[in-house]
């Protein structure tokens, strides 16, 4: 198995950021012109406003071939992992799902979920958030409007081809689709995976300011063809803006459409209490499901818990990433192509992981004496999770009783 040795985090290193903010001398190093081609930028981002999805795919593929920095000899595999895609069902049900990946990720994030949805009759499409898929330096280029725009435009395109549209998102992508759905009453419902409504530390709120004078939050070797390991401050800033917007939207909303939400208790990236509170107070459809990968049962009666204390599988807890992939996924499943050894542990333990020693799996940063932990990258309950997702999508929108949004603003605001 090949390994991805550097940490993958939605948020940049908070300790490093604090140091930079306190000691201005560190700024000089952050402004040095990079020589690694991964850290350079394209002349322009790809267009996403095409009149149809096929043209979008064709033009995006041409742009990726011209601008991607490849990290293996298999260029075609890398292109396909980062290219948006459409999966047409054999037995269409007249509905469609648009799936939006997270920060530093790619459309590959949804490959297992997309295939499952297509098997149920949904026309499934993914998009590529501008700045992703080519080289991490291109994340210096996008604006918040670019990420919002690709979601809005492709929601509109999908509406032209199906009777009912669902939106799904992972992490930052979940923020974008929730805000889109709250503003668009035509959306049938939401599928949310590790929604990044609120970061796990207030320090992330500094990113929009810091991004004006620091280019890079983190620069690491790019050895993972499905996502970036490094992070420009601009991208961290846009993520935080999406979180501000979605929290404001949730504080004013009563969203009674069907919602499937899934989170890990071992999560080290997002504020899970805030997300649970939003589900409980704002997402009011009684048929909604909150799938909780952890040991402490959420208070919402619509929540279903799956234990992640699985010593027989050498799993210690669930991670931000692990909800998306089947154990059979050839890249991120058990025994898959990529193992993420850079998991917030000591360098010596990371080296042992890379050398193929006995490994356990966990969320980023989790440690136990006597154990080496790689990132958990698959969902041991993938089949059960998809069954619950199917049940949510078969429900109808709750029309009554009408619940006033004002009832939810104050309790939710307490967690901001």
Q: For the chain, 416 residues long, give each residue's pLDDT as a single digit of tens.
A: 444 433 333 334 444 444 444 333 344 334 555 689 999 999 999 999 999 999 999 999 999 999 999 999 999 999 999 999 999 999 999 999 999 999 999 999 999 999 999 999 999 999 999 999 999 999 999 999 999 999 999 999 999 999 999 999 999 999 999 999 999 999 999 999 999 999 987 788 888 998 898 999 989 899 999 999 999 999 999 999 999 999 999 999 999 999 999 999 999 889 999 999 999 999 999 999 999 999 999 999 999 999 999 999 999 999 999 999 999 999 999 999 999 998 888 899 999 999 999 999 999 999 999 999 999 999 999 999 999 999 999 975 444 333 333 333 333 332 32
Whether 370 is covered by a domain: the verdict is no
The whole-number pLDDT of residue 398 equals 42
Contact 409, 251 (CB under 8 A): yes
Q: Tell me how many domains the chain contains.
A: 1
Whether 87 is covered by a domain: the verdict is yes
Whether 140 is covered by a domain: the verdict is yes
Whether 326 is covered by a domain: the verdict is no
**pTM for this prediction:** 0.89
Q: DSSP alpha helices (H): ranges in 322-381?
A: 347-354
Cβ neighbourhood burial of 409 (10 Å; 0-12, 13-18, 19+): middle
The whole-number pLDDT of residue 345 equals 86
Q: CATH number of the domain that 104 lies in? A: 3.40.50.1820
Residue 158 Cα to chain centre, angstroms: 21
Range of the domain at 234: 18-309+381-413
Q: What is the DSSP letter of 200?
A: S
Whether 367 is covered by a domain: the verdict is no
Euclidean distance between CA atoms 173 and 195, whole angstroms: 8
Whether 136 is covered by a domain: the verdict is yes
Give the per-residue SS3 of 95-160. EEEEEECCCCCCHHHHHHHHHHHHHCCCEEEEECCCCCCCCHHHHHCCCHHHHHHHHHHHHHHHHC
Cα dihedral 247, 251, 256, 261 sign: positive
The whole-number pLDDT of residue 200 equals 86
User: Which tokens is 373 given?
Assistant: 């932990």
Whether 346 is covered by a domain: the verdict is no
The whole-number pLDDT of residue 402 equals 32
Whether 141 is covered by a domain: the verdict is yes
């Amino acid at each position: 198995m090949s390994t991805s040795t550097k940490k993958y985090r939605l948020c940049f290193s908070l300790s490093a950021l604090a140091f930079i903010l306190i000691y201005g001398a560190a700024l000089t190093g952050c402004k040095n012109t990079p020589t690694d081609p991964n850290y350079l930028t394209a002349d322009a981002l790809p267009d996403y406003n095409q009149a149809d999805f096929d043209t979008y795919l064709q033009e995006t593929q041409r742009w990726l071939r011209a601008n991607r920095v490849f990290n293996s000899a298999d260029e075609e595999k890398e292109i396909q992992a980062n290219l948006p895609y459409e999966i047409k069902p054999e037995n269409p049900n007249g509905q469609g799902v648009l799936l939006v990946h997270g920060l530093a990720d790619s459309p590959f994030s949804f490959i297992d979920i997309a295939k499952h949805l297509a098997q149920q009759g949904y026309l499934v499409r993914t998009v590529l958030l501008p700045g992703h898929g080519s080289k991490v330096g291109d994340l210096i280029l996008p604006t918040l409007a670019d990420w919002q725009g690709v979601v809005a435009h492709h929601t509109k395109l999908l509406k032209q081809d199906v009777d009912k549209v669902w939106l799904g998102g992972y992490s930052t992508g979940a923020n974008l689709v929730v805000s889109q759905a709250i503003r668009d009453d035509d959306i049938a419902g939401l599928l949310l995976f590790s929604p990044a409504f609120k970061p796990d530390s207030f320090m992330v709120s500094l990113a929009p300011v810091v991004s004006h004078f620091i280019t890079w939050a983190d620069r690491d070797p790019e050895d993972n063809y499905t996502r970036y390991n490094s992070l420009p401050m601009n991208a961290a800033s846009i993520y935080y803006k999406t979180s501000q917007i979605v929290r404001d939207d949730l504080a004013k909303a009563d969203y009674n459409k069907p919602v499937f939400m899934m989170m890990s208790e071992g999560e080290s990236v997002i504020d899970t209490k805030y997300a649970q509170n939003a589900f409980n107070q704002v997402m009011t459809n009684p048929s909604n499901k909150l799938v909780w990968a952890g040991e402490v049962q959420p208070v919402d009666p619509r929540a279903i818990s799956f234990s992640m204390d699985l010593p027989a599988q050498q799993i210690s807890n669930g991670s931000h990433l692990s909800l998306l992939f089947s154990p059979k996924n050839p890249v991120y499943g058990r025994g898959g192509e990529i193992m993420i050894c850079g998991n917030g542990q000591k360098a010596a333990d990371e080296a042992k992981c890379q050398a193929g020693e006995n490994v356990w799996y966990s969320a980023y940063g989790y440690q136990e004496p006597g154990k080496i932990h790689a990132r958990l990258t698959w969902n041991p309950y993938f089949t059960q999770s998809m069954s619950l997702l199917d049940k949510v999508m078969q429900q109808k929108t709750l029309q009554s009783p009408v619940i006033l949004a004002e009832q939810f603003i104050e309790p939710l605001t307490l967690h901001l």
